[in-house]
Chains A and B, each alone.
Chain A
Amino acid sequence: MRIQQITFRTAGLALAGMVCFTRAAAPGANLSGYWELHFDSRNVPPAALTAQETGDDKTLQHKTDMNEIRWCHFFGVPYAMEGSPIDILQSRNGKEVIITSSLRTPARHIYTDGRAHVNPDVFDPVSNGHSIGHWEGDTLIVDTVGFSNEGLTRIPGGGRRTTDSHLVERYRLLDGGNRLSVVFTWEDPKIFARPHTYEFRYYRAPKGTEAREFDCNANDEERAKFLLGIPGN
């Protein structure tokens, strides 16, 4: 396991705002359960990208993404939130929220015990980043920094996650607990000309829904040819 020296510009901002996180607030709602995305679950406007990001080679980004899939790498955030269903578990002691996805991605750990982000000088960036959460009334606010460049980095609406990205999510139950709104706001000075906000509204999955494992074999030559070759060949 390597230790990288990294700098989060956005993490510094996030840490400055962590004073209010010094005590874990009691959960304002119970988000636990399986949640599905339906055809009408996404409200994703186009992102306002920086000139540099707009000019970047999209073919190269596509190749990078396909390579990540071909080699069975873990996808990370934000792709993890596009799994359907996702499973959210709020620990009984109120100290943590876990989000698992049926996609090939690590589970998200959201620490709700009042801790701050890990010192970026000692934190190894990961595809999910480092997430801490707190409750404002019935809304769970999740703040994430410490992303790596690994996995599927594209962000709904345009742009991509980088090691400088900062994500704030707001989780809130709707419709008597049958739906879940998650509002995502990305900030990254290299990528976005202004904060990029979009919303997913998940539907509560039917009782008895189960997690699935989509396993992956990087040694499958046919699969590799399909993913990296010319479509139709």
Chain B
Amino acid sequence: MRHLILITTGLSLLSGSAALGQKPAGREVPDLSGFWERKDDVGSGSFGGTLERIPKAALKPEIVAANREAAARQARGEVVSLGSKWCLTNQYPFFMQHSAAWDIVQTDSEIVQVPEVHTFPRHIYLDGRPHPDAAHLEPSVDGHAIGHWEGDTLVVDTVGFMGGAGTPGGGRVGPKTHLVERFRLTNSGKMLSVTFTWEDPSIYLKPHTYELTYHKSDPGIYAFEEYCHADDPVQGGSVVEPAQK
């Protein structure tokens, strides 16, 4: 696992190391700070529907088979995830496609994305540090993210995911997955475009790329805490565990 992480990390470092680091000296970079939220720009009628236009990931046959099996189990009434029952932490990129707003606070050396949904803040280091070597890379909910500016675009490179999450378009996130994102303001700063490219030779036949757009929230919006009570019978009863064999 860790060798492959190093391979993908190494490629990203080779291709971008010269540009890694803080904003280029003497040049201002865009300020992405503020709350951002998804809206139904495509008229689908639901937030789930907005993801239907995302291209389907080209998955390896064994992943397709595993997805089919999980879908069949669900169709039979089986529970394939107890995450909501136990209030498990939502893994990246869950909050990026959620309807709840998320907040960016930006400094010259770091950007933090703070979602409302039940998960950790995501730290993106802009100070030129590389990813940790394989021996020191701790798998985490958000992975290890480093960023640099290419003109007006923030390019973020992430490795070190725990694994077990999904992506829009039917993809998966595994411990060997490598993600590159491009953040760019549009519409005079009122909107934010994020292009995601997921790579993992154990999951994808080719890189899985899609774009999500976000609207700047109204001034005065404030964050809420999504508090999840695994000890609440109502929350626990949201998912009924199948009989154990």
A interface vs B, CB < 8 Å?
Answer: 1, 32, 67, 71-74, 76, 87, 89-93, 95-98, 100, 106-107, 109, 111, 113, 115, 118, 124, 126-128, 130, 148, 150, 207-208, 210-213, 215-219
The residues of A that contact B12 with a CB separation of less than 8 Å are none
Interface mask (B22-56 → A, CB under 8 Å = 1, otherwise 0): 00000000010110000000000000000000000
B87 within 8 A of A: yes
- Nearest B residue to A76 by beta-carbon distance? B225
**Contact between B114 and A93 (Cβ–Cβ < 8 Å)?**
no
**Contact between A74 and B106 (Cβ–Cβ < 8 Å)?**
no
Among B34, B105, B121, chain A packs the most CB atoms within 10 A around the CB of: B105
The residues of A that contact B120 with a CB separation of less than 8 Å are 213
Distance of B108 from chain A, by nearest CB (Å): 8
**Contact between B225 and A128 (Cβ–Cβ < 8 Å)?**
yes
B70 within 8 A of A: no
Q: How many residues of B contact A (CB 8 A)?
A: 38
B107 within 8 A of A: yes
| 23 cross-chain CB contacts under 8 A | A72-B87, A72-B230, A73-B227, A73-B229, A87-B110, A89-B105, A91-B33, A100-B112, A107-B114, A109-B103, A109-B223, A118-B222, A128-B225, A208-B127, A210-B123, A210-B125, A211-B121, A215-B89, A217-B86, A218-B87, A218-B230, A219-B86, A219-B88
The residues of B that contact A32 with a CB separation of less than 8 Å are 107, 109-110
**Contact between B224 and A1 (Cβ–Cβ < 8 Å)?**
yes
The CA-CA distance from A113 to B86 in the complex, in Å, is 37
The CA-CA distance from A127 to B109 in the complex, in Å, is 29
The residues of B that contact A89 with a CB separation of less than 8 Å are 105-107, 110, 112
B242 within 8 A of A: no
**Contact between A96 and B229 (Cβ–Cβ < 8 Å)?**
no
The residues of A that contact B138 with a CB separation of less than 8 Å are 212
Using A91-B105, A115-B220, A219-B86 as known contacts, say yes or no to A67 and B231 having CB atoms under 8 A apart.
yes
